[in-house]
């Protein structure tokens, strides 16, 4: 599971059209896994959500300048409602792996959380 602290005070869910990300996060805090030993780690993450389109844009910026789009890696399904801003998707190259991304208010600031799990029958 990843937790990315955000030093932004802007509200994530906005109905206004925009081209800039809603959140710009620093390097993720990896709670489980071997990514601290990655030679090309994620250095920042941009998250945007358009509720009018049910559209998420999540970009991971790597140390070497490459950008990884979650929208190209996963089949993203918006699960947001008035209580949560969340997406879920299966990995394109291995449909048995499920990613869940969510923006939460943590410790007075917005945070983006992402976690990968094996799906349960009840999830789909």
pLDDT value of residue 97: 92
Locus of tokens 């925009």: 18
Give domain status of residue 123, yes or no.
no
Give domain status of residue 52, yes or no.
yes
pLDDT value of residue 119: 59
Contact indicator for 29, 53 with CB cutoff of 8 Å: no
User: How many whole angstroms separate alpha carbon 82 and alpha carbon 70?
Assistant: 23
| pLDDT values of the chain reduced to their tens digit, one per residue, 124 residues | 343 333 332 344 443 344 567 899 999 887 776 566 789 999 999 999 999 999 999 999 999 999 999 999 999 999 999 999 999 999 999 999 999 999 998 888 899 999 988 755 555 4
Strand extents, DSSP E, 37-93: 42-50, 55-62, 67-69, 74-78, 85-91
Give domain status of residue 55, yes or no.
yes
User: How many whole angstroms separate alpha carbon 45 and alpha carbon 68?
Assistant: 9
Give domain status of residue 66, yes or no.
yes
Residue 53 has a CB neighbour count (10 Å cut-off) of 9
Say how many domains are in the chain: 1
Residues spanned by the domain of 92: 2-116
Tokens encoding 54 = 């049910």
pTM here? 0.75
Contact indicator for 47, 112 with CB cutoff of 8 Å: yes
Give domain status of residue 43, yes or no.
yes
């Amino acid at each position: 599971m990843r937790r990315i602290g955000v030093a932004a005070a802007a509200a994530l869910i906005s109905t206004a059209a925009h081209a800039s990300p809603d959140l710009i996060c620093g390097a993720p805090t990896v709670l489980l896994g071997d990514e601290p030993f990655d030679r090309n780690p994620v250095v920042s993450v941009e998250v945007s959500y358009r509720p009018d389109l049910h559209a998420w844009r999540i970009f991971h910026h790597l140390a070497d300048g490459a950008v990884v789009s979650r929208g190209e890696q996963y089949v993203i399904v918006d699960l947001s409602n008035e209580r949560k801003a969340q997406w879920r998707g299966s990995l394109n190259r291995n449909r048995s792996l499920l990613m869940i991304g969510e923006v939460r208010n943590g410790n007075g600031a917005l945070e983006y959380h992402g976690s990968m799990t094996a799906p349960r029958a009840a999830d789909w």
